[in-house]
Structure 1
Amino acid sequence: MSAVYYEQNSGVARITLDAPERGNPLNPTSVAELADAVRRARADDSHVVVLSATGDTFCVGGDLTAFAGADDVEHMIDDLAEALHRVISDLHRIAAVVVSVVQGTTAGAGVPLAAAADLVLASTSARFTLAYTGVGLSPDGGTSLLTASLGLHRTLRLALLNPVVTAEEAHALGLVAEVHPDDELDAAVEATVAGLRRGSRSAQIAAKRLLREAATPGEEAALRRETLSIRALAASPDGREGVAAFLAKRAPGYPSSCA
């Protein structure tokens, strides 16, 4: 069964994370399907790409069950992070305006995945949390690129304290472009798509590229640093303990902690 659904109609590509029973996790299968969907959107010469998810969770982030069961977690994380980072780069570079639609919770790599869009629309029920350091891992998925839009210390707060950020708070931080009541979000998305479709595609893409290149000129190096960091931590005692504790629903006891 596919974890990502793709359709395209009248210049609008719709990419939907479609494993709601598991919270739409990011694992080798779903990331490969996500990459394929973005390639199809490019091949279809889409003007607008809408990235959304089914169910009450946008994305729980990395599939920790898969991490825990991997024979060589370092190798698996390296491959997965690199594949996800190519998706993020492709969303940044595609000649289309990308709109992400967030309802319910998004955590871990789901946050920078949503933020890879040019416009993030959220429902009032949306909640965001990075959660990486809470399981002994460092951020990936382009989290370090958020410093360009949120600022260093705001991003550090999200990464170190792992607060659950409401949609309105995310809007105030600059992560979310618009917040709408849950029952009005779909209509707001369609209005946004229609407004973009009426505009000059060439001007929109030129603006997107100019602003992104100015904001994150070192994107590829930043993404590679994220990969190297999370793969090392995933194989470390703290990373293994954090993931094991999360899956067992207990408090972690990190070997590196002085508490």
Structure 2
Amino acid sequence: MASAIRFVRDGAWLQIRLANAARRNALGPEDWIELAELLQNAASSGVEIISLTGEGPVFCAGVDRSMLAAAQKEVGGLVSQVRHVGMIVQTLETSPAIVIAALNGPAVGIGVHLALAADFTLACRDAFLWLPEAAMGIPDVQHHRMLAERLGKHRALEFALLGRRLAAEEAQAAGLIGTLVDTPDLIEGELAGLVARIQAVPVSVRSAIKRAALAQVSIGDPDAQAEAVSQ
């Protein structure tokens, strides 16, 4: 099956789109291969801004269930998959480029981590963040330190352990989302405006600030995630 990830290069801006609305943009094996290749090439081809958005009413429904089911049939398969996917998210998070996530709808499971990996996160008001993995028997801890810092211990545990959905406005109040727009059709315009403002800043200044940000922010830990799943 071909990847459902689409991309356009506009100068130094790499626009990545999750384009499998029929499956709520759940990411399967081919999608992860494509995303990893895009991020690897971006690091060596002068990409300065990376944006990630989805088609349809959902930003990303997480890892495709068939991929998860296949991994669970193999000894150590789930741990290996979790580490692989987590490393791709970490590559996005530690990219020297400015990363923007534009949430056209809910972010679920690994979709939450893609959103948390961004430097700027835009969202429509009816979007939400949701980690349902605990109910599936999978501990989700990759960004738990960041969540605890932003939400506080109690709300972070409600979110990761009890599966409470985090509404876009609550996520914005905690600093997990930057800008909210009223409807999904306004996301593209807000994204283009943000990119224009970023491009107006000299590249050397952008790069210096991104390096400083990476030195200060709690980065998601795929090894901790894999270790938690292996227990």
Q: TM-score, normalised by structure 1?
A: 0.80
Equivalence for 2:225: 226
| Paired letter, 2:208 | A
Gaps (5+ residues) in structure 1? 233-259
Kindly state the Cα deviation for residue 53 of structure 1 after the two structures are TM-superposed. 1.2
Does residue 7 in structure 1 map to residue 8 in structure 2?
Answer: yes
Gaps of 5+ in 2: none
Letter in 1 for 2:122: L
Confirm or deny that 1:155 pairs with 2:156: yes
- Aligned residue number for residue 192 of structure 1: 194
Is 1:123 equivalent to 2:113 in the alignment? no
Question: 1:109–1:139: 8 Å Cα contact kept in structure 2?
Answer: no
* 2:88 alignment counterpart: 87
How far apart are the structure 2 equivalents of 1:142 and 1:230?
14
Structure 1 distance, partners of 2:137, 2:212, is 36
Structure 1 window deviating more from structure 2 (70-79 vs 95-104): it is: 70-79
Write out aligned runs for 1:1-259 (5 A): 1-70=2-71, 72-182=73-183, 183-216=185-218, 219=219, 222-232=221-231
CA 85–109 in structure 1, closer or farther in 2 if over 3 Å, else same = same
Per the TM alignment, residue 140 of structure 1 is displaced from its structure 2 partner at its CA by 5.0
Q: How many residues align?
A: 229
Task: Tell me: CA distance 1:203–1:181, structure 2 relative to 1, closer, same or farther (3 Å).
Answer: same
- Aligned counterparts of 2:172 and 2:158: Cα–Cα separation in 1: 16
Secondary structure (helix, strand or coil) at the match of 1:211 reads helix
Letter in 2 for 1:101: A
Residue-by-residue CA offset, 1:142-164 (whole Å, 9 max, x unaligned): 45443344443332221122122
The alignment partner of 2:138 has SS state of: coil
Range moving further from structure 2, 78-87 or 137-146: 137-146
Q: Is the 8 A contact 1:23 1:58 kept in 2?
A: yes
Going from structure 1 to structure 2, the CA distance change for 1:176 and 1:74 (only over 3 Å counts) comes to: farther
SS across alignment from 1:58: coil
Choose 75-84 or 189-198, whichever is displaced more.
75-84
Cα contact 2:100–2:120 (8 A) shared by 1? yes
Normalising by structure 2, report the TM-score.
0.89
AA at the equivalent of 2:217? A
Distance of 1:157 and 1:106 partners within structure 2: 17
Q: 1:27 to 1:230 in 2, by over 3 A?
A: farther
- Do 1:32 and 1:83's aligned partners in 2 also have CA atoms closer than 8 Å? no
CA contact (8 A) 2:142 2:224 kept: no
Identity across aligned pairs (percent)?
26
Structure 2 counterpart SS, 1:51 = strand
- 1:62 is paired with a residue whose SS is coil
Task: Determine helix, strand or coil for the equivalent of 1:161.
Answer: coil
